[in-house]
Amino acid sequence: NPWLLCLSNYRAWKAGYQGKVSFLKKDLWKVNLSDCYNVIVFLAPSVKPPLATKLLAELPDEARVVAGRFPFPSWTPTSTLGQGLEQVWAYDMKEVRRAAQSSAEGSPV
């Protein structure tokens, strides 16, 4: 949404973060996220499973993902804030990977 992109850039500038953050208008499925450390997503639940796979493959361990409105169904959040429609879930990728690895090791083959 180009309007939200403009609003995000304006708010970052107003808060003194110009040059410290960036908002990209790119195809989510084609862009490489390996140099991103803070990812905010506001997407429908149907998109979360394939996005989770992409984020696990590309984000560094130090990255944090914040999901608005809908959580990632297979991830345990590091923290949450708010309630109802205003709730957000934060996930630290190192913890998400650790849980995924533990789950995979405990699964019968």
Q: Could you give the residue ranges of the DSSP H alpha helices within the chain?
A: 2-14, 48-58, 93-106
pLDDT in tens, 5-18: 899 999 999 999 98
Q: How many domains is the chain built from?
A: 2
pLDDT in tens, 47-86: 999 999 999 999 999 999 999 989 999 999 999 999 998 9
Q: Which structural domain, as residue segments, surrounds residue 9?
A: 1-30
Cα 5 from Cα 73, distance rounded (Å): 27
pLDDT in tens, 86-100: 999 999 999 999 998
Tell which residue, 38, 106, 102, 46, has the closest CA to residue 72: 46
Residue 42 CB partners (closer than 8 Å, separation 6+): 67, 68, 69
The confidence band for 105, taking pLDDT boundaries of 50, 70 and 90, is: confident
The answer on 62 and 17 residing in a single domain is no
Cα 37 from Cα 65, distance rounded (Å): 8
**More confident site: 71 or 42:** 71
